[in-house]
Amino acid sequence: MSDVPSRPNLIARLFNVEPRETAAVVAGLALFFLLFTGYFMLRPVRETMGVAGGVDNLQWLFTGTFVATLAAMPLFGWVAARVPRRHILSWTFGFFVLNLLVFAALFAWQPENVWIARTFYIWLSVFNLLTISLAWSVLADLFVVAQAKRLFALMAGGASLGGLCGPVLGTLLVAPLGHAGLVLLSALFLAGSIAAAAWLQRWRDMHPLPERDAQARSRPLGGNPFTGATAVFRSPYLLGIALFVLLLASVSTFLYFEQARLVAEHFPDRTRQTQVFGLIDTIVQSLAILTQIFITGQIARRLGVGILLVLVPLVTAAGFLWLALAPTFAVFAVVMVVRRAGEYALVRPGREMLYTVVGTEDKYKAKNFIDTVVYRGADALSGWVKRMLDLVAEHPALAMFIGAGIALVWAGNGAWLGRAQRRREQAGG
């Protein structure tokens, strides 16, 4: 008998995937790759629009995004309560495909209209959180905790690969296609992600779980559009996740405003700004995908979810202190790249693993409330706080020291959530 291992065994050793799970991993990779490619094609354009409106006015765009999120969540809650669980993603993504077609027509009709640009900035900010959160909801619904620890980081590699391809495609195609053409292409990618999600559902039908069979997934969740919010306030565990997201968003907003300020100072040309934003995205996603494929799953399986939720906040706190002492663009670029790559590679998979030990309804409704309303609310609030700090102290060091403090609280919250998740896992959810 040959000593050479078979291909499935080799795959299992390298990526810790069982042969019967290969199709699911491919479907999950495709889902995230298509979703993130379409989104990241448009993200550098959105960032340039934000800078063009004035760095001092970014807090207004963040507030508008929060208001739009508040308006969108009851609609999503209504869909989640009445549409069969297995079809929630296809209905929601299908609605956003129609939105993209409308924006493509508007950009072709009035490409320089500032209000269309502002509306698109806000819409894309709502779109990205809701669609990404919903994609993770589907995974949390279809996989048990043990599978999540092994597979989530690998499937999230599709997000980083899409985040790498998206900016490259946008940079190459924006000249020949224009913004309207990019939006149309993004709509096609989003439609493809619907097909990938349907493939994932069919795989689970062929490998059913007793507690989550096909018949249960074919029934609506029921309840009312505000069930997600009330569930969060009734559960200390869900409140802990909400606090984690609030602190994450606050740290991200502080760095986002600093990014806008430094890019506007160093690169006044709008084309150069888009190129810089695209280059940062490319580096971030390159680092994230290598970490997701080879490191994250091993850390989660051997050390637990908690380490995924603590490591990046601690590194971010150190980065804020570095920026306070040396507020240069080079230092900022290093801090921003490390924090964002760590978020994609470690924090996001770890955060999604927290939902594998909650009830089915909470996986969709409470999770999406936290990922959208809580996140964008924290964005809006921290945006105004950052603006006030900049007005009070002309030197950005004060905001950086406060950011370091927030990051340390974030790390403590992540450690608590890791322990709580482990207790729930041991108790059988």
For residue 87, being part of any structural domain is answered with yes
Contact indicator for 250, 382 with CB cutoff of 8 Å = yes
- Determine the residue type at 331: V
CA 290 to chain centroid, in Å, comes to: 18
Ordered alpha helix ranges (H), 326-371? 329-342, 348-353, 360-361, 367-368
Query: pLDDT value at position 210?
Result: 60
Q: Is residue 6 part of a domain?
A: no
Confidence label for 30 from pLDDT (cuts 50, 70 and 90): very high
Asked if the structure places residue 319 within a domain, the reply is yes
CATH code of residue 356: 1.20.1250.20
Residue appearing with tokens 């027509």: 105
Main-chain dihedrals φ then ψ at residue 18, nearest 5 degrees: -75, 150
SS (H, E, C) 139-208: HHHHCCHHHHHHHHHHHHHHHHHHHHHHHHHHHHHHHHHHHHHHHHHHHHHHHHHHHHHHHHHHHHHHCC
Domain, as residue range, for 383: 17-426
Residue 159 lies in a domain: yes
Mean residue pLDDT across the chain: 80
Query: How far, in Å, CA of 343 to CA of 337, rounded?
Result: 10
**Residues 6+ away with beta carbon under 8 Å from 50:** 58, 61, 121, 260
Note whether residue 363 is domain-resident: yes
The answer to whether residue 78 is domain-embedded is yes
User: How far is residue 23's CA from residue 194's CA, in Å, rounded to a whole number?
Assistant: 16
Are the beta carbons of 59 and 389 closer than 8 angstroms?
Answer: no
- The answer to the question of residue 2 being in a domain is no
With tokens 């999600």, the residue in question is 197
Collapse the DSSP code of 294 into the 3-class scheme (helix H, G, I; strand E, B; otherwise coil) and give the result.
Answer: helix
Check residues 278 and 354 and name the one with the higher pLDDT.
Answer: 354
CA distance 396 to 259: 12
Question: Tens digit of pLDDT for each residue in 352-374?
Answer: 888 888 887 787 788 888 888 88
For residue 242, tell me if it sits in a domain: yes
pLDDT tens for 53-66 read 555 666 677 778 78
| 3-state SS, residue 220 | strand
Residue at 417: amino acid letter: L
Q: Give tens-digit pLDDT for 184-222.
A: 999 999 999 999 999 988 888 887 766 545 555 555 555
Domain count, the chain: 1
Q: What are the tens digits of pLDDT across the range 241-254?
A: 999 999 998 888 88
Digit-coded pLDDT (tens) for 94-135? 999 999 999 999 988 887 777 887 888 889 888 987 888 888
Taking alpha carbons only, the member of 143, 245, 188 closest to residue 42 is: 188
Look up residue 77 and give its two tokens. 């809650």
